[in-house]
Structure 1
């Protein structure tokens, strides 16, 4: 049995944040009913390449373990069926523009009237502001993420995945589970609201903390860290190597492996504060030695001394590393509609008694 067996989720989510949240819950046993427009479906069904046959790999990546339901919410029959679904559901998830579900008669107050125990999760871009569309790239820009990402302040750069949507989806799933825990104790449902901008500001962690608590507005530093050194990308004899040295012990071990033991006691580098202040000279000294051997050779020797480091991998390398470490990053889902099992990235949550299951491939569009 899954941890969430018996839980019914009415999934009105689209694109990434909502579908990612409901897929995580579906992997853990919930029955997720994905509501889509007949003949059109989720926008991501058309977001390709890459394609798997005639299906978008984007859509496939966030919609497994879901039952299909095609409903025309602009007509009375579709709305009636949607009301029957939310009446029997434990959870509703939606990420329409604010006010849309209210106009359809499927807003929180209407659903709570027929289903008092409902946990109703709304995902928006900016809270209740329906004049601001919530696209991940837009949030990365206006939310400050692009200002601290990239080689320098003159080159604002987006993260290479819709990370704000993913973070918000995780926040939504966490909020839903917290609300369900409250309902288990009291029988009372509630509304869960998350938005992309607030999720990003929370996830910016030390960067937003540095601003709100110390008044420091950060800017892009490339691969460097504002508060730690050495903590960046270094050249080697073949490909780049990341060093992520977080304390003085690790720095001493790094210097030992590199044959630069005098650096560990030099007052310019003996403490992290000193290393940050003298970062440029430190980087030059380290890189002069690092370029004499390959990244994999340094990786092996430095890891043996517990120095956090690693070569710069592409996605294929990353999956291969996880496989070598026994993390089982890829699962295969049998589906009679396809010629071969569908390969997907596994749910990262490991539960010893009620592990994630992969019961069904993403639904075809009805």
Structure 2
């Protein structure tokens, strides 16, 4: 294996997925060296996120900022899966593929003959990763904001006494993406042993519930229904609490044990506070949360953000500045996580955040324009002649990027 081409350099991934969850999995495999073919619907003008644009973006480009969050390193093939001659070409591609990623709504995969039962007969070694809203037996489509509401995340998020809040990223989509990666990696391991492919399904519902973690067990074990607490933690104090410094900046504390709390008090110039009976143990701090937070706010407000953070970090007290997104992306340690364009300007974020001999960052092509690789893929993967592709394009069954739409 050429280590410079990635661990999955021999894998072919066919992506029928759109929006964020499935495409995130596709980009993960692209970052690991796989060839990822993104099949996009000509009738809907491709992945819907191509048109989810900020007011500051170019309205004429097919590559939006949102689309760029999960589509680096892929080849875009734009066509009409409802047309029989096109389906046959895609079936030719799937016969040579290793993984299919899908997020079809209930019944659509079967209607288009792109379901697992159909494709596995063409390719028994195929791994079919399917993201659904509520499971393949439920026709209802899944949307991240709705799942955040239905699984308790929105109820928990927000200030005490305030309204429920949606997370500012599509959290449930991302959780489902991680689950599907894990399932497919397990499937690849199984295939190495048995030679057989399999169907791997992840629902947004189950991915969300599995991630409720301690909030779920707070109810299941202790019988206490979790409530909104802002950024604070139900069983650790001070953990997640935001404080304002003398220069009107913000920092967060994440003190997880009694030793750290005593050190915090020493740094803040009130060592006696760490010895008081009401605050000396985490259990007592949870019981006396309000009184302690009031005292800490006054102490923290005597320092500037930078001077206090420097000492807290030196003394191994968990604390950090509250950053804006630009500030977060500007951190030196973050730079290897960013993807750059041809002018070496950061334009994307890598899906891979682990370090191993097989996770060496590979150069990735920028997110593709709609249909950018239609001709290349149909010729090289499906054996379609240029003249045949031209005929399909004239019938508006495929969309090569160089073809201009007149509608």
TM-score by length of 2: 0.85
Q: 1:134 aligned to 2:142?
A: yes
- Report the CA distance shift for 1:134/1:290 in structure 2 as closer, same or farther (over 3 A): same
Partner of 2:222: 214
Structure 2 residue corresponding to 1:283, chosen from 287, 293, 308: 293
Partner of 1:312: 322
Q: Which runs of 5+ in 1 are unaligned?
A: none
Q: 1:76 aligned to 2:65?
A: no
Partner of 2:112: 104
Matches within 5 A, 1:269-280: 269-280=279-290
Aligned-pair CA distance for 1:132: 2.3
Give the match's secondary structure for 1:242.
Answer: strand
- Report the CA distance shift for 1:153/1:120 in structure 2 as closer, same or farther (over 3 A): farther
Q: Which has the higher contact order (CA 8 A, sep 6+)?
A: 2
Aligned-pair CA distance for 1:331: 2.6
- Report the CA distance shift for 1:326/1:214 in structure 2 as closer, same or farther (over 3 A): closer
Aligned-pair CA distance for 1:245: 0.2
Partner of 2:203: 195
Aligned-pair CA distance for 1:244: 0.4
Q: Which moved more, 1:77-86 or 1:284-293?
A: 77-86
Partner of 2:75: 67
Partner of 1:51: 57
Structure 2 residue corresponding to 1:253, chosen from 254, 257, 263: 263
- Report the CA distance shift for 1:326/1:121 in structure 2 as closer, same or farther (over 3 A): closer
Give the match's secondary structure for 2:37.
Answer: strand
- CA distance in 2 between counterparts of 1:259 and 1:357 reads 49
Q: Is the 8 A contact 2:144 2:172 kept in 1?
A: yes
Q: Which runs of 5+ in 2 are unaligned?
A: 372-407
Partner of 2:361: 356
Give the match's secondary structure for 1:254.
Answer: helix
- CA distance in 1 between counterparts of 2:335 and 2:370 reads 32
**After the TM superposition, which parts of structure 1 deviate over 3 Å for at least 4 consecutive aligned residues?**
339-342
Partner of 2:307: 297
Q: Which of structures 1 and 2 has the bigger CA Rg?
A: 2
Aligned-pair CA distance for 1:213: 2.8
Aligned-pair CA distance for 1:119: 0.6
Q: 1:5 aligned to 2:14?
A: no
Give the match's secondary structure for 2:330.
Answer: helix
Matches within 5 A, 1:150-229: 150-229=158-237
- CA distance in 2 between counterparts of 1:92 and 1:137 reads 26
Aligned length, in residue pairs: 360
- CA distance in 2 between counterparts of 1:342 and 1:177 reads 29
Give the match's secondary structure for 1:24.
Answer: helix
Q: Is the 8 A contact 1:147 1:153 kept in 2?
A: no
Q: Which moved more, 1:55-64 or 1:351-360?
A: 351-360
- Report the CA distance shift for 1:90/1:326 in structure 2 as closer, same or farther (over 3 A): closer
Partner of 2:272: 262
Aligned-pair CA distance for 1:350: 2.5
Backbone CA RMSD of aligned residues: 1.7
